[in-house]
Chains A and B, each alone.
Chain A
Amino acid sequence: MTALATLLIALGAVILVIAGWGVVTLPDALSRQHAATKAGTLALAMIAFGAFVAIPADGFGVRLALILGFLVATLPVASHLLARAAVREQDIPTDDVPRIGGSRAPD
Chain B
Amino acid sequence: MSIDLTFIAQIIVFILMVVVLWKLLYAPLNEAMEARTKKIESGLAAAEAGVAAQANAEALITAQLNEAKSKAHEIIAAAEKRAVEVNEEALNKSRREAEQILDNAREEVGAELERARQSLRQEIAGIAMQAAEKVVEAELDAKRHAKMIEAIIEEGLGAA
B and A form one assembly:
no
